[in-house]
Amino acid sequence: MRVLLDTHALLWWFTNDARLSARARDVIGDLESTVLVSAASAWEIATKRRSSKLQIGGVVIQRFDELVTADGFTHLAVKYSQAIHAGTYSVDLRDPFDRILAAQAELEQIPLLTTDPVLRDFPIRCVW
C-alpha cells in the first residue's frame, strides 16, 4: 500500500504516541507499504516549532531527513501543480499544510493517513 502521512501521524510514529491507531501502525510498519512524507510536513513542524505550538519539533527538524530515511519512508516534494490545486479547493479550511497534503493525496492518488475529520471533506481517500 502507498500512503501519505499527515504530519500528526508522522510525529506520533516518531514518538510512539498511543494516539496512533493500530491500523495506522500496521500500515506504516508493513514492509510492503510505501510510506510518503511530504515536504509540507517539514514546513509545518518548523513553523509550529517556531511559534511554540510544538515542543518536539526542534529535534525532528534537526534530524528530519535522518528520521524519515531511517524508517524507510520516502520524501515527497511539493510540486507547483499541487500548490495551485491546494489553493483552488472550495472547502472552508485555512490550514495551508492540510490543503497541500490533500492536494498531494488527490493528484498523486495516494490515501492520506490521518485522524483529522476536516480532511474527509476533500476528494481524497483517508485511512486511519
Q: Cα separations (Å) of 9 from 21, 27, 81?
A: 9, 11, 25
Is the pLDDT at 36 greater than 80? The verdict is yes
- pLDDT confidence of residue 57: 60
Task: Check residue 50 and give its pLDDT.
Answer: 82
**What is the model's pLDDT at position 106?**
98
pTM, rounded to two decimals:
0.93
pLDDT of residue 59: 75
Mean pLDDT of 110-116: 97
Segment 86-113 shows an average pLDDT of: 95
What percent of the chain stands above pLDDT 70?
Answer: 98
pLDDT tier at 98, thresholds 50, 70, 90 = very high
Distance separating alpha carbons of residues 119 and 56, to the nearest angstrom: 24
- Distance in angstroms (rounded) separating the CA atoms of residues 73 and 92: 31
Distance CA 54, CA 58 (A): 9
Across residues 54-68, what is the average pLDDT? 82
